[in-house]
Each structure stands twice: as structure tokens, then as C-alpha cells.
Amino acid sequence: MASTSEWQVPPAFQPRPGDYSFDVDAVLSSVVGLHSIIPPDAFSAETLGTERAGNGVLIDDGLVLTIGYLITEAEALWLHLGDGKVVEGHALGFDSESGFGLVQALGRVDLEPVPLGSSAATRVGDRVVIGGAGGRTRSVASQVVAKQEFAGYWEYLLDEAIFTYPAHPNWGGAGLISTRGELIGIGSLQMEREREGKTEHVNMIVPIDLLKPVISDIRKFGRVNRPSRPWLGMYSTEIDNRVVVVGIASRGPAARAELKAGDVILAVNGEKISSQNAFYRKLWALGPAGVDVPLTVYHEGVTFDVTLASTDRAKLLKAPRLH
């Protein structure tokens, strides 16, 4: 993992302590670096790689909140503190619906947890800090520019994600800090938006309110204690009001059904769809993982019906191991 001293956010974009009513340096000291190693034969290795690095935020005694893709199937994990200390961590688990992941430090972490705030109370236009490991020089003074639905190509949907500008360059697991010094979200993606004829980079943030109902289950069981959603192993995008397959996960239901990149999903269980959001909602409304999913597909001039036997994605993943 590269040293956090090797890069800095440009000074003009760094948060200035005088602009906030809380102790910026104290809060940002509880944002830590995260480095994980994933086995080469892990299911997620083909898309996410075998070495992942990002950020996490201390929210309880030794408990670090991050974005789940950084720790999925991790066999080894380290937390990098601002004073240069490195502490081994254990991936407790993650919630595939929200995208949050939890890590337990296996050594002493002498930092104050960042209190959880309310993402629902956050408004467009609010000034925020996107905290990265390394303090103010690795953090961004930003602003909430949108709160809206977000659909991800990996069978993922948030009813109301938070979007911020300017974007943090090392967004994965970064902490979204409110003007009260509270954690209101965790960084997930960097995206582009068109504004006044120019392309701008924004961060997509998972809102903290999604953590509160599931944190106890993740700490106890490594996942949320509820029926899993049906998963098809299909990567898709929305193009001109059509849901187009752009990739197929190996060993998934879509691969077994021999669906291909370029296929267009026209309907779920006979109900026409024209957006990713509608696709996911109709898919998940059919029942829990394991339910049969009837699709109508268009492929190179031919329309056909196919039924996929959905599965629980978690069954393909290596469980966290405590060393």
C-alpha cells in the first residue's frame, strides 16, 4: 500500500478548520487507511482484484465502517492509522443491499469514534467534508449537490444516494462528515455529470441511515439476518430506455442460461421494463433468492423467453476468516 504521504488534495480543496464548528482535525484523525488481500480464487477477484485499498471510519471501540467491496472475501486486512501505526483487522461482514462493510481492529486503536448523524436531515447545498485517511491534506471540502435514486450495474439500487462535488480522488470508504462533525455517509463511487456544458466528477455516497437497522446483525452474523434477494449474476446498464446486458458473472445464473453481453432485457415475468430501477424492483419482488425469474430477452433480432434459477450471491463468496 502506498504511503499516504505520497499524495495530497490540492490546498484549495482541503477543508479549513475555521470554516467548521467542530474540531476538523480530531474528527479526520478517526478516518483510517484500509488495505486488504483477497485470494486469487475468490469469486470477487475477477472484478475487484486481489489487493484493495481505501478508507474506513472508526464508529465504535475498534469498529471501522467502510464500503463493502474493499473487504469482500478478504483473507488478510490491515488498518493504517494517522500516526503511522498499522493494526491488523478482521472483516466482520457486509450488507450487499446498502453496500456497507464492517471491520474489527484486532489491536488497540486510541482514537475517538466519529458519531453517527442523520443522512435524512442532510440537504442539497449543505457544506460537508469528505474525509480520507491522512487528515486535512487528504480530505476534501465539498458540498451535497444531489440526493436521488441510484442504480448500479451489479444488481444494486439505492432509493436515495447522496452526491457530492468536488469529488474525493480516493473515494472508497471515505467518510462524509456533516457540519456538526457527524458521519452521514460512506464513499462508494466517482461518477461524471454534465453541468453547464462541462464534465464534472462527483462522488456517490451511501447514506448512513441505511446502517442503523443492520449494524447489529453484521456485527453478530457477518450479514443481515433477512432473506437474501435473488441474484442473477448479470451486469447491465440503461441505454435509450432499454436494459442492456454489458457483462456476465462466471458461475452465476445468467452464465448458466447462456445470456450474453449485448442482450436486451425486455420484461420480467411478463411485465415490460425500460429502466434498471424497474428491472431490479420487479426482480426482487418475485421472492427471495432461489426463486425462478422469467425474463423476455432480445438477442440479435430474436426475442425469446428464458427462466433463470436465481441464487444467493453470498453463497459464492468466501466467508471471512479470523486468524
pLDDT value of position 320: 72
pLDDT value of position 323: 52
pLDDT value of position 3: 43
Tell me the sheet residues that pair with 150. Answer: 158
pLDDT value of position 319: 82
pLDDT value of position 321: 67
The rounded mean pLDDT for the chain is 95
pLDDT surpassing 60 at residue 235: yes
Tens of pLDDT, residues 274-289: 999 999 999 999 999 9
Write b or e for each residue in 67-80: b if 16 or more Cβ atoms lie within 10 A of its Cβ, otherwise e. Answer: bbbbbbbbebbbbb
Over residues 53-75, the mean pLDDT reads 97
Tens of pLDDT, residues 205-234: 999 999 999 999 999 999 999 999 999 999
pLDDT value of position 194: 87
Nearest C-alpha neighbor of 74 from the set 251, 317, 249, 314: 317
How many angstroms separate the CA atoms of 316 and 44, rounded?
Answer: 9
Q: For residues 293 and 5, which has the higher predicted lDDT (pLDDT)?
A: 293
Tens of pLDDT, residues 76-105: 999 999 989 999 999 999 999 999 999 999
Flag the least confident range among 154-158, 186-190, 191-195. Answer: 191-195
Hey, what domains does the chain have and what are their CATH numbers?
A: 4-112+214-221 (2.40.10.120), 127-210 (2.40.10), 234-316 (2.30.42.10)
Query: With bands split at pLDDT 50, 70 and 90, how would you rate the model's confidence at 2?
Result: very low
pLDDT surpassing 50 at residue 18: yes
pLDDT value of position 256: 96
Over residues 154-182, the mean pLDDT reads 98
Percent of the chain with pLDDT strictly greater than 70: 98
Q: How far from 145 is each of 138, 162, 192, CA to CA, in Å?
A: 21, 8, 13
How many angstroms separate the CA atoms of 175 and 22, rounded?
Answer: 15
pLDDT surpassing 50 at residue 167: yes
pLDDT surpassing 50 at residue 1: no
**Residue 12 grid coordinates:** 484549495
Dihedral of CA atoms 165, 167, 173, 176 in degrees, nearest 10, equals -30
pLDDT surpassing 50 at residue 148: yes
Tens of pLDDT, residues 303-323: 999 999 999 999 999 987 665
